[in-house]
Amino acid sequence: MEIRNSEGKLPTSLKNLDLNKSHEPKNKIPVSAYLSSSRSRISALKPRPPSLVSLCLGVVGRHLEEIIPCLSDISDIFPADIKMSIAAIAKRRKLLDDDLVISLADTSWEILDVSSSDVSDSGLAKVSEICKSLRAVDISRCNKITSMGVSELVQNCRSLETLRCGGCPSSESTARRSLSLFKPDLSNVEEETWEELVVTEIGHGGHSLRWLVWPRIDKDSLEMLSIECPRIVVNPKPSFLTYSLHEVPREALPDVALDEPFVKDIDPKTWVVRGVVKNPTTSLLSLTSSSELSIAEKFRLAFAERDARLAPKRAKNARQQQRRAERDWMMSSDEAKAVAFASKATRSLRKK
């Protein structure tokens, strides 16, 4: 049966009817898109090969003993991040000392990790003079760093926010003796006029220090810091409820090494010392001997702390004595009076 109108044509509704259209969904994703997305997910899960720079640093780290004698002559051509990577490898290979860290120090460094190294007070002081922009420093488990080195660090690095310390008996003693350096204080200066005052003598202390990582801090030190230095957070812990202004920085987390980002792509076999067999008897003796400080070491630390505390006062007294001697000479000597009158007359003639 045919359905036609009077003019013999099909209706418009039948003309628009498409009987050959498939019943597939309109938003169907092709198979190629699924394959490409799966390939991208698989490639994201695969570890990326190390970069050429990381491979070269691994070779340098394995032969670091041969390079150390001439490192001070060639370190100037290295970028700052490469110097930091070499220092991190040297620390892990137990090769980091004063000469090596000074030769690698760069003015753009913002972190310094010398933990468990042979760096002493002189090396730390020299590095702090070079790297004045340091924000985080780790001196934990350093037997050769005392409160004198910490004092130089605090005075030279005015942007220091995070400090890690403790971890061994010597470092624990250094941390306790350095607590007074973290408190901002006004010095008692005895000068006759304001013009004679030196700005650095008016105030001292670690004004910028905010985070102190000291895992085994004693109760008295913690109470003193909480009362006299409430701005310093001791052993901070990350929390999901903190606001953005009070978030704990990565440098203040005790489980994260400061220099870890600079060696994360380097093969850990680089700093494995081969051919050394540990003697369990020797290690046990070393642990028992380092459990407490000897009497001679305690006397040495006490003398060094007293000498560092009295050094500014000795310098100030020397300056006062020099000024008094000059004043007495001016008042008693006729020649000095004649020179003073002649200088005044010369200034008056110049003004006219």
- The proportion of the chain whose per-residue pLDDT surpasses 90, expressed as a percent, equals 34
Q: Is residue 149 part of a domain?
A: yes
pLDDT tens-place string over residues 134-153: 999 999 999 999 999 999 99
Does residue 339 lie within any of the structural domains? no
3-state secondary structure the chain: CCCCCCCCCCCHHHHCCCCCCCCCCCCCCCHHHHHHHHHHHHHHHCCCCCCHHHHHHHHHHHCHHHHHHHHHHHHHHCCHHHHHHHHHHHHHCCCCCHHHHHHHCCCCCCEEECCCCCCCHHHHHHHHHHCCCCCEEECCCCCCCCHHHHHHHHHHCCCCCEEECCCCHHHHHHHHHCHHHHCCEECCCCCCCHHHCCHHHHEECCCCCCEEECCCCCHHHHHHHHHHCCCCEECCCCCCCCCHHHCCCHHHCCCCCCCHHHCCCCCHHHHCCCCCCCCHHHHHHHHHHCCCCCHHHHHHHHHHHHHHHHHHHHHHHHHHHHHHHHHHHHHHCHHHHHHHHHHHHHHHHHHC
Look up residue 272 and give its amino acid. Answer: V
Number of structural domains, the chain?
Answer: 1
CB atoms within 10 A of CB 120: 18
Least confident of 6-15, 167-176, 309-318: 6-15
**pLDDT of 20:** 55
Cα 336 to Cα 58, 178, 325: the distances in Å are 69, 47, 12
In the predicted model, is pLDDT for residue 4 greater than 60? no
Q: What is the pLDDT of residue 51?
A: 86
Where is mean pLDDT largest: 110-114, 218-222, 324-328?
110-114
Instruction: Return the sign of the alpha-carbon dihedral for residues 181, 187, 188, 190.
Output: positive
Q: The whole model's pTM is what?
A: 0.62
Host domain of residue 251: 52-183+205-238+247-262
Q: Is residue 124 part of a domain?
A: yes
Instruction: Provide the CATH number for the domain around residue 162.
Output: 3.80.10
Whether the predicted pLDDT of 202 surpasses 80: no
Residue 90 lies in a domain: yes
Is 290 a residue whose pLDDT tops 50? no
Q: Residue 127: inside a domain, yes or no?
A: yes
In a domain, 100, yes or no: yes
CA 74 to chain centroid:
24
Q: With respect to residue 59, please indicate whether it lies within any of the assigned structural domains.
A: yes
pLDDT in tens, 95-124: 999 999 999 999 999 999 999 999 999 999
The confidence score (pLDDT) of residue 193 equals: 53
Return the HEC string of 297-323.
HHHHHHHHHHHHHHHHHHHHHHHHHHH
Cα distance between residue 322 and residue 84, in whole Å = 45
Among 240, 241, 209, 243, residue whose Cα is nearest residue 225: 209
10 falls within a domain:
no
